[in-house]
A and B are shown apart, each in its own frame.
Chain A
Amino acid sequence: MIERLTEEIGLEPERYELTEGPAYHFELGEMQRRDFFRVFGGGVLIVLALNDSLAQQESGGGGRRGGAPRPVEIGAWLRIAEDGTVTAYTGKAEVGQNIRTSLTQAVAEELRAPVSAVKVVMGDTDLTPFDIGTFGSLTTPDMFPQLLKAAAAAREIMLDLASEELKVERGSLLSADGKITHPATNRSLSYGELSKGQKIMKAIGASSLSPREGWKVAGKSLRKINGRDVVTGKQRSTPDIKLPGMLHGKVLRPSAFGATPASIDSKEAEKLPGVIVVRDGDFTGVVAPNEGTAARAVAAIRAEWKTTPQVSAKELFDHLRKTPNPPAKPPDTLAESLAAAHQKLERTYAVAYIAHAPLEPRAAVAEWKDGKLTVWTGTQRPFGVRSDLASAFRIPEASVRVIVPDTGSGYGGKHSGEAAVEAARLAKAAGLPVKLVWTREEEFTWAYFRPAGVIDVTSGVNKDGVITAWDFHNYNSGNAGLRPVYAIQNQRNEFHRSDSPLRQGSYRALASTANHFAREVHVDELAHSLKIDPLEFRLKNLKDERLRAVLEAAANTFGWGKSKPAANHGFGIAGGFEKGGYVANCAEVAVDRASGKVKIVRVVTAFECGAVVNPDGLKNQVEGSVIQGIGGALFEAIDFENGKILNPRFSRYRVPRFSDMPKLETVLLDRKDLQPAGAGECPIVALAPAVGAAIFHATGVRLRSLPMVPNGLKL
């Protein structure tokens, strides 16, 4: 399954960050190589490295994205200690999507163990099986069933062992509450007594999973499992880690993107107490006893930079259209159907670069000890970062351990390991552990952005309001959600690569947000031009019953078509699907005509992602997606000029705050008959077009560019 998923993920072109080259090419110097040979012995290194890369190729991994095949033995996924503590192992990372909680539910459900007995070890490359990364809404469709299966298999073993030990028929035994009971004789043995803490090496077979209708722990709301640590401040994320002797690092950043050093004078920095300046290739950084001194040291470095002129925000959209693979002439059937249309509509939509701006910036703590590099870092790809570190330092992956503490969010923005590589380089030079925490400005500047894009849509409808032709071209932003959710006879949907002036990559739901914005606003335009209710128009043009169900659920809860908005208010609707989830939003906006301020006053969301694993946790994700979506819809945009970010601070880059919060109503459709799908991404895709439609309804102004009102609405 994972291979198939890998392949699918590999095909999403907007995951640019996964295919870009390394940020640094370290020389590492003679010193480093001597150190290394001392640990591993001359000659061995090459063999190790070679074997390592061959192993990767053989497993079909291809280096950056690949890895070992998924282990089959139960013990790799789940262990039961003598005291009955159950530890599950997953390479996924907790970045706020609450999978530590939902995966605990999987184990407790199938093992029939209390939730309090289950602990989940996550994102530790030495302890957990290889994992491709925490992205693509994969945890729930992929890791959740994997742990269900491992737990069910472990429960079977417990039954076998108890049957042997109690000398009774296996079928006469019950598993519940962390023990096996023989009701006839009222005897029981706990899982700890049965396992005696031994690792179960038996392969996960085809144990039967409990029917979802009978779920006791899964399918029920469970609060964040480590919530108490969070509210008491005990939760430690990467920036909170402190190791004995640890120093603080800081990196000298170029004056602009693509700038290379012409001269670097670090004499003044080196005079500061306890400061070491590290220069290696294009990398310059400092190590100091505390963060303040590190910041002063890096500021004391006098650097001259060679820069090259670069595209700025104001010329962005023209630039993105200059693609090496422009659209060809439409195929005849499409051209004919456009020509024959009752109405033809040709529109262009655009989306800006936006920043993930996770509240925890990139950070890493690196330690070289006994020939092994250990790095704690907040990444969504622990094994990917291990690969990056192994290549950067030219050491085998087995000599690198990456540990991901529960992290202050990612939203697709933490698939890379920049801070890990930088901290490791500094720690190597210092000979002591080094912590490096990016500043907010660094995070806004040197991370990657959600791609900007331009989308051209040409459509044709017949007299009955059926869309008959559809020609959709996305420049640069990506192809997730590219195909229409409507049944259209003649269609062409293409993604065209461009040369992006900014570093870009994955973002929650990828390009699905951009493509849904263009498509759903366009559909709203068609409905209005035909004077058909936008909901009715959608229902007329779709065949997908799951999409119909969420649209109807959202409309019913909202009271769509039941009332007229107040003066200067408007209603809008939009829907779609992504990564196995289905979403529809109804939005109400209020426009202050004098100030141009647009306020989203109410949002109803209907969401369906198969069988619900944790209803309240899911609701939390859906609400969060909607609120985060407000930023991209209304005001978030990265401004840049000639290789510099002009708004790399929260005081200049507006994100949604308390006062932006609409009244939210969320309807979850629980489909126990369907496999659960992920929910971290899909619920963000329909918010912007629903809001855009509501603004049009309120004012008659059609907005086709995200963000829609960065400086208010001009009427």
Chain B
Amino acid sequence: MRILELQVNGTRRRVEVDGERSLLSVLRDELDLTGAKYGCGEGQCGACTVLVDGRAARSCLTQAASVEGKQVTTVEGLERNGALHPLQEAFLAVDAMQCGYCTAGMIMSGVGLLKKTPNPTEAEILRAMEGNICRCGTYPRIVAAIRQAANGDKAAKGGAQ
């Protein structure tokens, strides 16, 4: 067992866990942040996606100890002063979900993409999202939501100028 100091959603969290614990298990079982889901445990489905220093990462394959000193963001940490992230809003507007089990991972992968590429092409969206599975088949809506968030973001910035 060892004590880890993690920065999660902008807050410092101390957890006592064994060093091999996955970030997913620490987030869910120790910090009660259950937005990231277990789907496969081999980084193949993306349900566990979180941001580590702004980049999408599979928390099931990430050792919790390896993210000490880095900023971890989960879906619970996207809201700012009661306002949802534009991609969360776009998921609602497009109704880009059915059972919702993959949604948090989809949103985090999408947010990771938009941070890196604010105005992605369809091909860039498909490439970035290929590792996330929606078994209900809402892919077209998820792509639409990412585009909407990207365009809205651009429109908002344009409007401010």
Contact = CB atoms under 8 A, between A and B. Distances in A.
Interface string B121-145: 0000110011011111111111100
Contacts of A228: 84, 92
B98 A437 contact: no
Contacts of B32: 242
B23 interface: no
A223 B95 contact: yes
Contact of A291 (B25, B102, B107): B25
Nearest to A655: B133
Nearest to B126: A658
A159 B135 CA distance: 46
Contacts of B126: 658-659, 661
Interface string B33-70: 11111111110110100000000000000000000000
A712 interface: no
Nearest to B47: A359
B37 to A, nearest CB: 7
B139 A627 contact: yes
A197 interface: no
Interface in A557-613: none
Contacts of A394: none
A649 B28 CA distance: 22
Contact of B103 (A230, A651, A655, A658): A230
A658 B101 contact: no
B98 A440 contact: no
A620 interface: yes
Nearest to A661: B139
Contacts of B40: 440, 649-650
B62 to A, nearest CB: 15
A232 B88 contact: yes
Given A231-B88, A232-B88, A623-B140, A240 B97 contact: no
Given A232-B84, A292-B18, A650-B45, A616 B98 contact: no
B160 interface: no
B46 to A, nearest CB: 10
Interface string B143-161: 1000000000000000000
A236 B95 contact: no
A358 B34 contact: no
Given A232-B35, A440-B40, A655-B135, A661 B140 contact: yes
**What is the interface of chain A mostly: helix, strand, loop, or mixed?**
loop
B42 A240 contact: no
Contacts of A655: 133, 135
Interface residues of B, number: 56
Given A359-B99, A650-B45, A658 B135 contact: no
A145 interface: no
A650 B42 contact: yes
Given A98-B98, A231-B103, A233-B75, A359 B92 contact: no
A96 interface: yes
B135 A357 contact: yes
B45 A626 contact: no
**What is the interface of chain B mostly: helix, strand, loop, or mixed?**
loop
Contact of B135 (A240, A292, A359, A616): A359
Question: Which range holds the interface residue count of chain A?
Answer: 35 or more
Contacts of A623: 137-138, 140-141
Contacts of B103: 230-231
Contacts of B36: 233
A275 to B, nearest CB: 14
B133 A359 contact: yes
A175 interface: no
A378 B18 CA distance: 30
A512 B18 CA distance: 50
Contacts of A98: 98
A649 B37 contact: no
Nearest to A230: B100
A290 B64 CA distance: 15
B29 A658 contact: no
Nearest to B105: A359
A322 to B, nearest CB: 34
A411 B134 CA distance: 13
Among B34, B36, B95, the one with the most A-chain Cβ atoms within 10 Å of its Cβ is B95
A627 B133 CA distance: 12
Interface string B80-95: 0000100010011101
B132 A658 contact: yes
B38 A437 contact: yes
B102 A359 contact: yes
Contacts of B143: 658, 661
B95 A360 contact: no
Interface stretch (A384-392, A402-410, A420-428, A466-474): A402-410
A625 interface: yes
Contact of B133 (A230, A439, A657): A657
A231 B107 contact: yes
A650 B137 contact: no
Among A290, A411, A628, A650, the one with the most B-chain Cβ atoms within 10 Å of its Cβ is A650
Given A233-B36, A655-B133, 8 more contacts: A97-B98, A230-B100, A231-B84, A440-B45, A627-B137, A628-B136, A650-B133, A658-B130
21 contacts: A95-B99, A96-B136, A98-B98, A223-B93, A227-B92, A230-B91, A231-B75, A231-B92, A232-B84, A233-B75, A239-B37, A240-B28, A291-B25, A292-B21, A358-B135, A360-B39, A361-B38, A408-B101, A409-B135, A627-B139, A661-B126
